[in-house]
Amino acid sequence: MREIIKLVVVLTLICGISVGTLEIARANLAGRIEKQNDRYIRGPALSRLFAKPADELLENKINLNLDGQKYPVFFMRENGKITGLAVEATGKGGYGGDIQIMIGIDLLTGKIKGMEIIQHSETPGVGAQVEKENFRSQWINLPLTKNIALKQDNGKIQGITGATYSSRAVVDGTNRILKLVTQHRDEIINEIQAKAN
């Protein structure tokens, strides 16, 4: 009996101290990791969507708080008018967890400029193929007003073979963003104007 107690106590202590250390490390490093993410992932993604150098675009950011969720929104301004948005949201139901995507929106034409994957935990070679150019290019010039779906769900998007969950999660994230933009468009523009001035 004593032996079992010792086993339990030692394991519990080791696990407890390990978790505590990791939590302290995470709290201290999360800010830095976010900045690195911006520099190496969001920056290039924004550049690809808007064909402009990343440094300008990264600064134009607001954080939308709706229904308890946080949505980072990047905006592009030309001659004082807001011409484009890049909205980030989480697509649920990925194979390895949620997938963070970013949709570039052209406010002048009302169409999608492109889709970028910001963060995922999908299987390399299978679900991770959602990052590929030929999958993401299906998003270019889609209208903002219609929800999208995979071909097997009566939609138009060709999913990745063998990676249905991952493809569906990206579609889910896109539809969330479309809903957000169509329903709260004025709110978003107002918040951006407030920040920009």
Partner 1 sequence: MKFTKILIHGFWKDLPPFRLVLGLCPALAVTNSAENGMGMGLAATFVLVFSNMLISALRKVIPDKVRIASYIVVIATLVVLVEMIMKSYFFALSQQLGIFIPLIVVNCIILGRAEAFASRNPIYLSFADGLSVGLGYTLSLTLVGTIREILGAGSWFGLNIMGHNFEPFTFMVKAPGAFICLGILLGIMNFWSRRRGEIFIQT
Tell me how far apart the alpha carbons of residues 163 and 126 are, in angstroms, rounded to a whole number: 6
- Separation of CA 3 from chain center: 49
Which range of residues in 15-23, 112-120, 134-142, 170-178 is near partner 1 by CB under 8 A? Answer: 15-23
User: Is 32 a binder of partner 1 (CB under 8 A)?
Assistant: yes
Q: How far is the CB of 15 from partner 1 (least distance, A)?
A: 6
User: Is 36 a binder of partner 1 (CB under 8 A)?
Assistant: yes
Contact of 115 with 132, CB cutoff 8 Å? no
| Candidate list 15, 66, 140, 196; residue touching partner 1; CB under 8 A | 15
106-145 positions binding partner 1, by CB under 8 A: 124
- Separation of CA 187 from chain center: 20
User: Is 7 a binder of partner 1 (CB under 8 A)?
Assistant: yes
* Vertex 185 angle, CA 180 and 187, to 5°: 105
Query: Six-digit token pair at 63?
Result: 């954080």
User: Is 11 a binder of partner 1 (CB under 8 A)?
Assistant: yes
Rounded to 10 degrees, the C-alpha dihedral 65/36/193/70 comes to -10
The residue ranges that bind partner 1 (CB under 8 A) are 3, 6-7, 10-11, 14-15, 18, 21-22, 25-26, 29, 32-33, 36-37, 39-40, 124
